[in-house]
Amino acid sequence: MSPSPMATPLSRLLRCCWLLLLFAGLSPRAHAAEDPWSPFDMPWFDRVGVNDGLPHSLTTALAQDQRGLVWIGTQSGLVRYDGYRMQVFTATGGPKADLPDTYVRALLALPDGGLLVATNSGGLSRFDPLRNAFHTYPVGKGGTSSRKIYALARDGNDGVWIAGERGLDHLDLRTNQIVVVPTGADTSPRNFSILQDRAGNLWLGNNNGLFVRRRGTHAFERAPRPSGNAAVDAVLDDGIWALDEDRTGRLWVGSTKAGAVYRDADEHWHPVVGFSGLQPNRERRATVRDFVEVDPDTLWLATDGNGVLAYTPSDGTLRAITHDTAMPSSLPGDAVRALMRDRSGNIWAATDLGVARSNAGARKAFTLLPSTHDGRALASSNVRTIFVDSRRRIWLGMNAGNIDVIDLDHGMIRHLHLDGDQTRRDVQAFAEAHDGAIWVGTQGLARVDPATFQIQSSVVPALEASPVLHLMPDGERLLVATYDGVYRYDLRTRALTHFGNDPNDPRSLASDTVRLITRVGSQVWYVTGRGISIAANGAQDRNFENLLNRPDDPTSLPNNLASSVTTDPQGNRWIGTYGGLAMLEPHTGGEPYRFRRFDTSNGLTSDNINAALSDDQGNLWVSLPNGISMIDGNTHAVHNLGARDGLHVASYVYAAAARAPDGELLFGGLGGLTILRPDWQPPESTDAPLAVTQAAINGNPLPFGRLPRPGESFHLTAHNRSLRVDFALLDFQATADTTYSYRLDGLDEDWITIPRGSQPTAIYTNLPHGDYVLRLRAQTHGMQPRVIESALAVGIEPRWYETIAALVGFGALLLALLYLVTQLRTLYLRRQAQQLQQQVDLRTQDLLIANQRLDELASTDSLTGALNRRRFFELAEEVRKESREGEACIALLDLDGFKAINDTYGHLVGDAVIHHVAHAMRMQCRGVDLVGRYGGEELVICLPNTGLTQGMVIAECIRGSIAGAPFEHEGEAIVVTISIGVAAYQEGESLSQWLSRADSALYRAKHDGRNRSRAAE
């Protein structure tokens, strides 16, 4: 059949529009020279919306204050955000010092921790962090020229430029004085944007175009531009909504309807290729609302309706970043009013459907997902197999008969679909024949022409009913793995042969379910559902060497269900199983295969290994049901990939993995295709502050400006004993994967961990007076985990009755009262003594009887009826003293798997099991034998006049009787077994040494598999 590059006519139209936009400059491959995956690597956005606390979905402005918190302007108020909590400020219309208008148009963070807020109809307001209140400037005389203010910009000193609907103003932050700035006759009263560049020139984005006031002058003039460049003229003469200066000194200018241009450091103007000037049909372009520099050669343009445009000046590539209904990680909305890069490198976008942020530094991994309109997206999120052909193309087998072919050299994805009886069948395997043809394993076999992508379905009729799990070329033959064994298909003669498992032949194929066929050196390994069968070559169909899990051998294959086999650059062979990862130890012919196991005890997040791949440095990467982990090739330390590395979709259930042509690692699953860049390292950066973002003393919130910074202190008066501290790591990255804890030195003995999903908050009530240190801790996860801590002093004044003087007075009064009470008590006790003496004499006889009973109870364990530890040691010591070497034995017993019984049935049943075992022991012992409870689930027997041989016989009798008589609980038989260590007495050793040797024998019984007896040496 013919491949269908796009699924619908609408998607074809969208792709054509995209190509017209994109290829107006250069091809995407030119920009992807260093990273062939860059055309496919779309930013991952974490969204913040109304459900998270925003008062309105339409967001308009962004700023990061001096402490590192993010402020968000909306059409219904202002929000302060620390990554977990929001404080919303609105306009009440009353005398309270609130916002003059809820529609926020622009924000500017100030050095004192405050904030300037430009509104749509209320003028300009300044937030005072020392009072958590707003001061609104007047409109008109002594204030701003406009009620509607579009933009704010610093003047390089202690002032701010204010661009508004009716003029340009300047605010002196030291005096709070505002003066009007004349702009000249050529300008319109309406000013949309303002910028003072690093050279001191003042650029004005006006409704009549772009104007500039040179440093040292007082008059504005039209921005000079070259003649004859219609695209540049169209932008500079249009209404200018956005201005920005990047790190290299380029000036970026965004217009109302003509797109954007930029001026380089040499004052030469350049169009934004594909987005400058009016379109050929005179149709207006989307308004450019803001710019942000993502990296030294990439700038994002915020547009009002077309999302974000990512532009690379060096090669002129332009890429649209838009909302996609099929991708929750896409931009929330396409009307973007503001962009911001915070101090941790995150890029924030204020859209009509909330705020989104993307971690530009999380590029270790990314996920390729389906999309409704991007020609570089997958057809399905269900990636079942991955294959790389000799032409550098990557083939993805998916569910429902879908095949995607990623062409890295041309930056595109081709979508194919099986037809006929193979329609909607899962594609689970690929192989490339010697002629370049791609063979497809699905319900039977299909063949794809590598040049035309024409598909020939159901090539081998005899296999139409067989789901194909894997394919491997073997010369002129194709080895086909299925649920009913292996088929060998001759590509020339089309002959088909079969071999499988023979239940009567232990050296036949280990199982008919063959999941993988791979060549390991000169051998062929068949990975089945019940172990691995090793053949000397592809022609062998019997007499396999089968690798199986041996339950009693920890060096055997961890689990019979294996998934993948890979070899690292050092020659180590690794096998992924559903019991952990196994590394093959050095092996010579004739010896059993032995493995070193890696599992959750080593740091993996799961024992179920779906796929394993090695990178060029010898590190091993494995996909798990809940993520991806790396095993360091040198230290074998385990590192788990996280959201800070770019891993956001962690759902891997198939053995789908492959190395890309340029060394990237590919893993497939239910969450799309994960592309992993093993060599990529994030840039060096300092830790974000772990800051107090809110605090309340006795329920009264502290103003933001009075919150203590690390190293500063809280001071609580004598009547304030409750403290609530909200804190956060202000990097705004992977907030759900950051672990928080806190501790108040002087009160808490250990760190208090905040449960995952809860907001980081420390709460203390009824604190005693004194001096403390509140320690806060944040722990990040991923490939570069970090622990960030901060400390704050906490001082609490004493109440009057807690002072030293009050305590001394209370002490003196207490002593006087004690003296008086003592005298009265003495008189009373003398009178009572005579009466008590009479009662003592009468009860002496009863006490003697009771003491005799108590002596019995003190010698017996109440649960088992056996001797308690103290009494057993006394009697066993007597036996030791009276015995000669080899004439007495001690047997130490321990219940096997007792913790599992307790965990499954409860401690009451566990106690009943101990009683049951003790009773069975006494039934097997002689009258002279001493049976005692050693501790917990351990019991002990002292056997006088008994040699080691006889002692082992008694031990085996006890063990056998217990193993053969399960404990009944509510109709269910609980199998109980014990392990026993027996030691014969050696002349001159102490009781402790005797017991220690029995304990060592018990340990060997446990180590040898439990439910057995072992004699001490």
Within 13 Å and on the Cβ side, how many CA atoms surround 187? Answer: 29
Radius of gyration of the chain (CA): 39
**How many C-beta atoms lie closer than 10 Å to residue 758's C-beta?**
10
**d(C-alpha 260, C-alpha 253), whole Å:** 6
Residues 6 or more apart whose CB falls under 8 angstroms from that of 685 comprise: 344, 345, 361
**d(C-alpha 885, C-alpha 501), whole Å:** 59
**How many C-beta atoms lie closer than 10 Å to residue 539's C-beta?**
11
**d(C-alpha 707, C-alpha 695), whole Å:** 7
Q: Two tokens at 414?
A: 């081709």
Angstrom CA distances, 535 to 521, 538, 541, stand at: 11, 7, 8
Residues 6 or more apart whose CB falls under 8 angstroms from that of 921 comprise: 866, 893, 931, 939, 941, 958, 962
The pLDDT assigned to 417 comes to 96
The pLDDT assigned to 851 comes to 65
**How many C-beta atoms lie closer than 10 Å to residue 557's C-beta?**
25
Residue type, 76: S
- The torsion region of residue 174 among left (phi > 0), alpha (psi -120 to 50) and beta comes to alpha
End-to-end, the C-alpha distance of the chain in Å comes to 77
The pLDDT assigned to 965 comes to 87
Q: Two tokens at 58?
A: 């339409």
Instruction: Read off the DSSP letter of residue 75.
Output: T
The answer to whether 260 and 232 are in contact (CB under 8 A) is no
The pLDDT assigned to 26 comes to 34
Beta strand residue intervals within 521-651, DSSP E: 523-528, 531-535, 545-547, 562-567, 573-577, 580-584, 595-598, 611-614, 620-624, 627-631, 638-640
**d(C-alpha 891, C-alpha 551), whole Å:** 28
Q: Which residue has the tokens 């009787």?
A: 961
Partnered with residue 163 across adjacent β-strands are 151, 168
Partnered with residue 836 across adjacent β-strands are none
Angle at 498 between CA 494 and CA 504, to 5 degrees: 170
b/e burial code for range 591-604 (CB count within 10 A of at least 16 → b): eebbbebbbeeeeb
Q: Two tokens at 223?
A: 């921005």
* Helix count and strand count (H, E) for the chain: 9, 72
Per run of 10 residues, the mean pLDDT along the chain (length 1017 residues) is: 37 38 36 73 94 96 97 97 96 70 97 96 96 95 96 96 97 96 96 97 97 95 90 96 96 97 95 91 92 94 97 93 91 97 96 96 92 83 96 96 95 93 93 95 96 94 94 96 96 95 95 96 94 95 94 94 94 94 88 92 95 95 95 94 91 90 95 94 89 95 95 92 96 94 96 94 94 96 94 93 83 89 86 78 70 72 88 92 93 92 90 91 89 91 93 93 89 91 93 93 93 92
CATH architecture designation of domain 690-794: Sandwich (2.60)
The answer to whether 614 and 598 are in contact (CB under 8 A) is no
The answer to whether 445 and 460 are in contact (CB under 8 A) is yes
Q: Two tokens at 171?
A: 């605010």
The answer to whether 593 and 562 are in contact (CB under 8 A) is no
- The closest alpha carbon to 354, from 378, 375, 374, 338, belongs to 338
- The torsion region of residue 310 among left (phi > 0), alpha (psi -120 to 50) and beta comes to beta
The answer to whether 278 and 284 are in contact (CB under 8 A) is yes
Residues 6 or more apart whose CB falls under 8 angstroms from that of 1015 comprise: 948, 951, 952, 981, 982, 983, 984, 1001
The pLDDT assigned to 25 comes to 36
The answer to whether 77 and 88 are in contact (CB under 8 A) is yes
Residue type, 869: R
Q: Which residue has the tokens 């010697």?
A: 434
Residues 6 or more apart whose CB falls under 8 angstroms from that of 395 comprise: 386, 387, 388, 389, 403, 404, 405, 406, 430, 438
The pLDDT assigned to 11 comes to 39
**d(C-alpha 116, C-alpha 692), whole Å:** 22
Domain 869-1015 annotated CATH 3.40.50.1370: no
pTM given for the model: 0.77
